[in-house]
Structure 1
Amino acid sequence: MTGLTPEGIEIDRDIAAPASRVFEAFTRAEDFAVWFGTDQVNVPAEELDFVAEPGREWRATMVLPDGNRIHWTGEFREVTPDTRVVFTLTDQPDDPARAEVRVELTPFGEGTRVHVEQDTPGFPDDAKRATIAGYEGFLDTLQRLVTA
């Protein structure tokens, strides 16, 4: 299911790639920079600190087409090869509040079902829908990356 939940949002996507490759895209810095940036945004390698290990903080900068920058930070909470990644994120690095994102990967046939949940405390429904749209863009790019 893709939609709003009482706690936040959830998105399901079937991707025609093995779970190991999809997991790699979620946990390898070079891949993260591609899908997190999508086709519209640059995530410069020199402003990316991204090592997927539990307890490790990560940082990334998005450079928007108009030149504005969004600074992201979070922490990896769980990294289970080929099946699960849990991390936090925020675009307000000075604020200690972080949204938790849970990614579950389930093999099916020749591909992988990706299930993403993100907590969205205090988000109105229109902001939740915008967050879903953002993830859809991420997953479109991730899908192209892992099936190329």
Structure 2
Amino acid sequence: MDKDKQTPLKLEHRLDAPPQEVFEAWINPAEMVRWWGPKEFKTTSFNADVREGGEWRAVMVGEDGKELPHGGRYLTIEPPRLLVFTFRWEEPDATDTEMRVSFEPDGSGTKLTLTQAPFADAEERDSHAEGWRELLAKLDHFLADNAS
């Protein structure tokens, strides 16, 4: 097996909001539509049945107008510390990855740890890493705007 397929994507990010607030931002579709996706994308819809076994689906639109639908199923929901769900692009031959997002108190903020696996190769993993970094930056701005 390709070693890169065995290496999950792992990102750590500190947010200036308490874990409960950050967790809520990850499970409230009305909030998620405002920050979900990389910087050059706008999320036009986010629907979620937030319960273990429930499904979620989002549609992002790029600057070129192309829609990128994707979704998955919630596997574990442990407020406000853990959210585990599948992620799958709606395209031929797409495979599920598992997302694990943990929320730990860090002073007055939250240390968010995101892992995702498996990937077909390192290029796919690294592409997702860039997208998640940009998404987390958008979440920073969203939380800051809501704190005001």
TM-score w.r.t. structure 1 length?
Answer: 0.86
Match of 2:30 in 1: 30
Q: Deviations over 1:70-91 (max 9, x none)?
A: 1102001111111000010111
Question: Are 1:138 and 2:135 an aligned pair?
Answer: yes
5+ residue gaps, structure 1, are none
Q: Is the 8 A contact 1:12 1:116 kept in 2?
A: yes
More strand by share: 2
Match of 1:116 in 2: 114
Alignment RMSD, CA only?
1.9
Structure 2 distance, partners of 1:9, 1:19, is 22
5+ residue gaps, structure 2, are none
Structure 1 distance, partners of 2:37, 2:132, is 11
The 5 A counterparts of 1:1-148 are 6-45=6-45, 48-92=46-90, 97-123=95-121, 125-148=122-145
Q: Is the 8 A contact 2:68 2:89 kept in 1?
A: yes
Q: Tell me the matched-pair count.
A: 142
Which consecutive segments of 4 or more residues in structure 1 shift more than 2 A? 4-7, 37-40, 92-97
Structure 1 distance, partners of 2:5, 2:108, is 29
Q: What amino acid sits opposite 1:106 in the alignment? A: E
User: 1:127 offset after TM fit, Å?
Assistant: 2.1
User: 1:120 offset after TM fit, Å?
Assistant: 2.7
Structure 1 distance, partners of 2:75, 2:43, is 22
Structure 1 distance, partners of 2:94, 2:51, is 20
Q: Secondary structure at the match of 1:90?
A: strand
Structure 2 distance, partners of 1:95, 1:79, is 28
TM-score w.r.t. structure 2 length?
Answer: 0.86
User: 1:5 offset after TM fit, Å?
Assistant: 8.5
Q: Is the 8 A contact 1:28 1:51 kept in 2?
A: no
Q: Is the 8 A contact 2:39 2:135 kept in 1?
A: no
Shift in alpha-carbon separation, 1:58–1:94, aligned structure 2, 3 A: farther
Structure 2 distance, partners of 1:60, 1:95, is 19
Structure 1 distance, partners of 2:79, 2:15, is 17
Structure 2 distance, partners of 1:144, 1:51, is 25
Structure 1 distance, partners of 2:85, 2:140, is 20
